[in-house]
Structure 1
Amino acid sequence: MTNEQRIRRIEKLETLISQGISAYPEKFTANYEPSEAARLEDGTTEVRVAGRIMSVRNFSKLSFITISNINGSLQLLLKREEVGDEAFEQFFEFVDIGDFIGANGRMYSTKTGEKTLRIESYVFLGKALRTLPEKWHGLSNVELRYRQRYLDLLMTTDTQRRLLSRSSMVRAIRRFFEDKGFLEVETPVLQHTSSGAIAEPFKTFHNALDTELNLRIAPETYLKRLIVGGFTKVFEFAKCFRNEGISPQHLQEFTMVEGYAAYWNYEDTMKLMREMLLNVLQQTFNTTTIMLQGQAIDFSLKWEVVSFRDLILKDTGIDIDLFPEVKDLYQETKRKNLHLEHPDIESLGRGNFIDLLYKRMCRPHLIKPTFLIQHPIDLSPLARANDKNPTITDRFQLVVNGAEIINAYSELVDPLEQRRRLQEQALLKSNGDLEAMEMDEDYLAAMEYGMPPISGWGFGIERLLMVLTDSDTIKDCVLFPLTKKL
């Protein structure tokens, strides 16, 4: 946009004001959305719509105008003989593409069959001082698309559809859990410890309390405190923060849905998550079949269930059960020429090393919905150990299209065992594993008051949307992703 264009628009604004026309009026009462009006019968009168002008096609005595908002668009017809000379001339004198107008009129269809509002009167609703971009669709500067998401939403249909799907998906998830008897709750974002997940936290400082705090990495331990307090079914849409590396599948600020059910185990949760996902697909996309990497995947078919050990053995030839020490497992991966890129690979504990091996060598190949079960206990500090094999946990992850979209397990409710595991995590953290968990004495105290059997789950809204829309990067699935400061 040139500075001359902006100056010209400001001049139009000043002329509007000088003629007593409100450039930014208080309100306009519409009775239809543009997309709703486009479905009305021809001849419908007293139709009032409002929107941003996206295009104008001028002829000698008439103009076709397209207005739109996030939900759709509508064509308007402005004719000199129907609105009068003054209103007709004012439109061309003062109005630009990008401005807002409100219009009243009646519906008809053009010769090409396009539903159109014949304007009987219109009002000016807002002046845009900057011109909309003309070449946005071919924009190769992805960072600019994220930085100016408002323009991306205006100009890119795929962005509109994807982020509208996000809102539909959130609504469907919330209603599903409420219909199943779960109560929505809220827990703290500012926490003294970074428990509930294996991740490095963001740190902040509380001036009044003169103490350092963490932004939560997960709501888990506070939701479990509610189970101690008598709640039996809870869930939360929780904004979480993890100071992790940037990748196409990770956001440092994201929305997690996490929930817990007393007296359940992880197999109960597997059934719930399958039912939820099928419901979300139907409510959001009106189908249970979606395209992933060129394949039509029907989620209503049976989902595969595979153990962590069997999956790694199949894809790498390594039996992780034969390597109880992380240093020996690391040497085995080098012997097999498996290149696992990680900046601090030698400081990882056994659980995080196995997780790295799985993420590099196995996960990208899982396209159809797959329940991954029987995770090593080293990788699951808050999960319940399996009764028959205490080296693994009663846990599952749902993997689709090479991404983990749901993590769930039967919870560890033994406070003494939990203390022992958190002590092991604290030792790993002191030895350089930044993603290991911290000791959380307050949570351990809550556990000692007694917990029933519990199963819980967590999943990220952005990750789920990324998978279900087959998006290339998770940043496409959040309205305003973090960008570098200019």
Structure 2
Amino acid sequence: MLSEQQIIRIKKLDKLKSLGINPYPSNEYKVTSTIYNIQKNFIEKETISIAGRLMRLRLLGKASFGEIKDHTGCMQIYFTKYHLYSDKMGKEDTYNIFLKKLIDIGDIIGVKGFLFKTKMNEMTIHVHKLTLLSKSIRPLPQVKMDKNKKIYDAFSNTELRYRMRYVDLIVNDHIKEIFIKRTRIIQKIRNFLDDKGYLEVDTPILQSIPGGAIARPFETYHNTLGIPLYLRIANELYLKRLIIGGFNGVYEFSRNFRNEGMDRIHNPEFTVLELYVAYKDYYWMMNFTEKLMKCIFNKFQKKENINFKTPFPRIPILDSIKKYTGFNLKKMEKEELRKVCKKLHIEENLKMSKAKLIENIFEEKCEKNYINPTFIIDYPIEMSPLTKKHRNEKNLSERFELIINGQEIANAYSELNDPIDQLDRLRKQMKFKNTKNESMSNESMSIDKDFIRALEFGMPPTAGIGIGIDRLVMLLTKKNSIQEVLLFPQMRPEKGGKK
């Protein structure tokens, strides 16, 4: 059902057409500058042509003021009855009919004119020619300010902002900066890796086996091949195939999909950087990660309470748990771990694996305590089915997670390259996979027989890391929700049956 304002605007649309004015012209509109460049290099009386969205319009008698916004900023515009014209109308009709009766806030317009400063010393465009480039038939939410220039009527409803990100970007100027910064962060990482000689690659999103991580996949079906396929939960196994094939270092900004819960740090689709480098181990990867993180944070987060002094602390996960809970888990089996969880009031049940119980304890009681960058290292082997056994510590693996501001930012291993050991571990995982118990099944990893075959040809010692790009951007933009750093986060369907 159309609102009253929409009905009025559609009538204006029809009137424009009746006057021979195309409200959605297809011809190019020549732009000579941007608002940012105009304001930076202001020249009095310079003739300019710009295009953008009309954000404000204050109609007066013989002269009116407005504000136009392009992709670089906002600027005041000025219209007068005797100097304004358009392609289809003379001066008085352009001002009295076209501007006053048919143009609305939210319309995309082109303006040509000269620059001047008002008595209040505000840079302004005196518009001589007005062109309608796209008629808006939905009114924008108006951002208003009080006398102290404090916003009190902004487009601030969180659900609406995420659902209608296009409107959020139009009316909330600071939102665009988040996503510009996100792009620049990714570019900085890419440049860092390229300078090291590592190759950016693409691997399949549709996979016949959802491997490389423990997660529930999204399922689909390929009609031509007649087989089920899965959206990838990780790209790890494909990147390792490339290391086996002879590449020295490969990386990918991978869009991953996991059919699991949603909260402030989880979205069903997310971006991970994965990097694999031959002839390295997790000690080398810790040193490399320190350099990468310092490079990023020196560029994008110069004034922050987080201390990026290197080397980052390296704390075994079981030592961390002992420090913050008082329990030594080193020799505990599943039933003992369940008792510890009960005492700590942490979720547990008979269906949870030993690895899941340890993970829950760490996440609930330890993770939040690490604000400065910290490597949590040497995870129990049960928690790391793709990781080499520790060279010195029995029952542990050569794995680390990087925790910053109480959140996991990265996960890395000395990669397991023994095909017999790898197959044995995956078979043990499949005992969970084949159970009817959903909780245990979701904690298991599928066997990718082709990956095992690839390992049998020999993979060099390799270090690998996955860095959560969304969480990294949250950290660098000081946002507490992953939805704030995703342009279009997943949402429930709108009420009323809308999709």
Report the TM-score when normalising by structure 2: 0.90
- Structure 1's 346 and 144: CA in aligned 2 closer, same or farther, altered over 3 A? farther
- The equivalent residue for 1:339 is 345
Deviation at 1:321, TM superposition (A): 0.4
Report the 3-state secondary structure (helix = DSSP H, G, I; strand = E; otherwise coil) of the residue aligned with 1:74.
strand
Deviation at 1:388, TM superposition (A): 0.7
- Structure 1's 137 and 226: CA in aligned 2 closer, same or farther, altered over 3 A? farther
- Structure 1's 384 and 51: CA in aligned 2 closer, same or farther, altered over 3 A? same
Deviation at 1:12, TM superposition (A): 1.2
Matched, 1:160 2:166: no
- The equivalent residue for 2:413 is 409
Between 441-450 and 371-380, report the one with greater CA deviation.
371-380
- Pairwise mapping of residues 192-341 of structure 1 onto structure 2 (< 5 A)? 192-283=208-299, 285=300, 287-290=301-304, 296-300=305-309, 302-323=311-332, 325-334=333-342, 337-341=343-347
Q: Distance in 2 between matches of 1:461 and 1:36?
A: 32
Q: Distance in 2 between matches of 1:52 and 1:319?
A: 62
- The equivalent residue for 2:110 is 102
* One-letter amino acid of the structure 2 residue matched with residue 461 of structure 1: I
Between 54-63 and 228-237, report the one with greater CA deviation.
54-63
Conserved? CA contact 1:34–1:51, under 8 Å: no
* One-letter amino acid of the structure 2 residue matched with residue 100 of structure 1: I
- The equivalent residue for 2:398 is 394
Conserved? CA contact 1:200–1:244, under 8 Å: yes
Show CA shifts across 1:348-380 (max 9, x none).
221122111111111122212111111111111
* One-letter amino acid of the structure 1 residue matched with residue 106 of structure 2: G
Deviation at 1:427, TM superposition (A): 1.5
Conserved? CA contact 2:53–2:68, under 8 Å: yes
Q: Distance in 2 between matches of 1:459 and 1:444?
A: 25
Between 17-26 and 81-90, report the one with greater CA deviation.
81-90
* One-letter amino acid of the structure 2 residue matched with residue 306 of structure 1: I
Q: Distance in 1 between matches of 2:116 and 2:40?
A: 11
Deviation at 1:322, TM superposition (A): 2.5
- Structure 1's 352 and 220: CA in aligned 2 closer, same or farther, altered over 3 A? same
- Structure 1's 218 and 461: CA in aligned 2 closer, same or farther, altered over 3 A? same
Show CA shifts across 1:75-127 (max 9, x none).
22223343243432221121100000111223333343433222232211110
Q: Distance in 2 between matches of 1:299 and 1:288?
A: 10
CA-atom RMSD in angstroms: 2.1
Deviation at 1:228, TM superposition (A): 1.0
- Structure 1's 346 and 72: CA in aligned 2 closer, same or farther, altered over 3 A? farther
Matched, 1:24 2:24: yes
- The equivalent residue for 1:367 is 371
- The equivalent residue for 1:461 is 469
Q: Distance in 1 between matches of 2:2 and 2:294?
A: 50
Q: Distance in 1 between matches of 2:353 and 2:75?
A: 59
Q: Distance in 2 between matches of 1:299 and 1:32?
A: 41
Deviation at 1:44, TM superposition (A): 6.1
- The equivalent residue for 1:176 is 192
Q: Distance in 2 between matches of 1:111 and 1:298?
A: 48
- Structure 1's 9 and 459: CA in aligned 2 closer, same or farther, altered over 3 A? same
* One-letter amino acid of the structure 1 residue matched with residue 271 of structure 2: T
Deviation at 1:24, TM superposition (A): 0.7
Q: Distance in 2 between matches of 1:32 and 1:2?
A: 37
Conserved? CA contact 2:307–2:373, under 8 Å: no
Deviation at 1:46, TM superposition (A): 3.2
Gaps of 5+ in 2: 85-90, 144-151, 495-499
Report the 3-state secondary structure (helix = DSSP H, G, I; strand = E; otherwise coil) of the residue aligned with 2:167.
helix
- The equivalent residue for 2:497 is none
Report the 3-state secondary structure (helix = DSSP H, G, I; strand = E; otherwise coil) of the residue aligned with 1:321.
coil
Identity %: 38
- Structure 1's 278 and 75: CA in aligned 2 closer, same or farther, altered over 3 A? farther
- The equivalent residue for 1:10 is 10
- Structure 1's 105 and 302: CA in aligned 2 closer, same or farther, altered over 3 A? farther
Q: Distance in 2 between matches of 1:417 and 1:124?
A: 68
Conserved? CA contact 1:40–1:107, under 8 Å: no
Q: Distance in 1 between matches of 2:492 and 2:316?
A: 40
Conserved? CA contact 2:65–2:76, under 8 Å: yes
* One-letter amino acid of the structure 1 residue matched with residue 353 of structure 2: G
